Amino acid sequence: MDATLLLNVEGIKKTILHGGTGDLPNFITGARVTFHFRTMKCDEERTVIDDSKQVGHPMHIIIGNMFKLEVWEILLTSMRVSEVAEFWCDTIHTGVYPILSRSLRQMAEGKDPTEWHVHTCGLANMFAYHTLGYEDLDELQKEPQPLIFIIELLQQVEAPSQYQRETWNLNNQEKMQAVPILHGEGNRLFKLGRYEEASNKYQEAIVCLRNLQTREKPWEVQWLKLEKMINTLILNYCQCLLKKEEYYEVLEHTSDILRHHPGIVKAYYVRARAHAEVWNEAEAKADLEKVLELEPSMRKAVQRELRLLENRLEEKREEERLRCRNMLG
């Protein structure tokens, strides 16, 4: 078919390569769309920039979720299931593609795509950094140009109720509603001894709250409310880490909490247990003393931990005595 102007949107032309089936899907807000894509330059060689089939898995976007490359939502909502179409998109629509491409490549390589843009987003990234880490993307960023996208809509568009939405896909209200559910699920899994799964639930809840916290002014009332909830979840997460014997990570998280909030009793208690496990006797005892100072009602728990610490230290000393005897013998 000849290329035609798509839906009267300036700077986009569409060519259908393979007709789709059925009626146009219902692309409601929150619907999930699954597709393969290939991105090419408009040069004579039609140089391929990215190809999801080569990566080995399709792409998903959520309609109405302010995806980085907004033009893809326009393109996809013109398509039927199983349709394959080629879209020519002018520079006005492709300026942020290098940033999206970098994130997709980082994920394909098993890296964290968020590390690079923790403090900035969108177009700001293009001015905040000199390189994207890929020569072809640096070239595109320096000289934006029209691009060609070949897109294949793979399956029925899923309504929000038909799939489990990841927390990053939730709006602010949904994130706040998800937190107590995730917290409760984490507690349930912890009691069942499923510590890895429990820690994942706590982490999801922390991410939701951190995201909401970025919208508040630091140290004001709402920010502090969220901070309190976050610290509770981090300490629950640390309890999972203790069970998984990841003691140094516990020390890192609890010490970070106490640097900012030195009155949190549970943080001292959890840190004391981690110190005891890595033979930091003085630090463990100091933290337990702080627990007693802040919360005298925890005396029994503190005495129990001190007995456990002393027993373990005695066992260690006995092992060392035996080792010395064997060496001398």
Q: What is the pLDDT of residue 324?
A: 81
CATH 3.40.50.2300, applies to 5-158: no
**pLDDT tens per residue across span 147-165:** 999 999 998 788 877 766 6
What is the rounded distance in angstroms from the CA atom of residue 206 to the CA atom of residue 233? 7
Query: Domain limits of the chain?
Result: 5-158, 172-295
Kindly report the number of other CB atoms within 10 A of residue 288's CB atom.
24
On whether the CB atoms of residues 42 and 175 are closer than 8 A, the answer is: no
CATH 1.25.40.10, applies to 172-295: yes
Q: What's the pLDDT band for 224 if we cut at 50, 70, 90? A: very high
Helical pair 281-294 and 299-328, crossing angle rounded to 10 deg: 170
**pLDDT tens per residue across span 108-137:** 777 644 433 333 333 333 333 457 788 999
Q: What's the pLDDT band for 169 if we cut at 50, 70, 90? A: low
Q: What's the pLDDT band for 235 if we cut at 50, 70, 90? A: very high
Strand partners, 14: 4, 87
